[in-house]
Amino acid sequence: MNILVLCTGNSARSILLESLFNHTGEGRVRAYSAGSNPTGKVHPQSLTLLGAESHDVRDARSKSWDEFAAEDAPEMDIVITVCGSAAEETCPVWPGAPVRAHWGVEDPAAASQSDWETAFRTAYDILGRRAEALLELPIETMDSVELSAHLKRIGALL
């Protein structure tokens, strides 16, 4: 099952959730992340935190969602947006038929540098709980209506 995690800049939240799914999914899912307006680099605190949590960050990079709209791109089963609401961010909208969900988390990259450790840890922990909740379900056998309902419920977890 392929999951695309979208955000605007693809430097923090979407990178964290992509890595969480790939790290804890044990091959059940393949996650990707992208941004509608990518920064072009992964936030250094994302790399620091993921490295400290034993995630493989060798291939981590900030990507445009155009990469996943190409004809030869993997077909997505689920698309999750992770934009927050405090800064009135505009979340990208993915066209097509995949099951879509919104798991908003405030942008830790918007925190002052002195608060990065706490802000990134908070985002990582919230996204980690959500990823685990999804992976506890038999998602491979769910129909799109059932999967959508679970994704919505999980998106409210803090």
pLDDT digits (tens, 9 = 90+) for 26-49: 899 999 999 988 999 999 999 999
Q: What is the pLDDT of residues 69-127, one digit of tens each?
A: 888 889 999 999 998 865 556 666 676 768 999 999 999 999 999 999 999 999 999 99
User: What residue ranges define each of the domains in the chain, with the CATH number in brackets?
Assistant: 2-154 (3.40.50.2300)
| Cα Rg, the chain, nearest whole Å | 14
Alpha-helical (H) ranges within 8-143 are 13-24, 44-52, 116-135
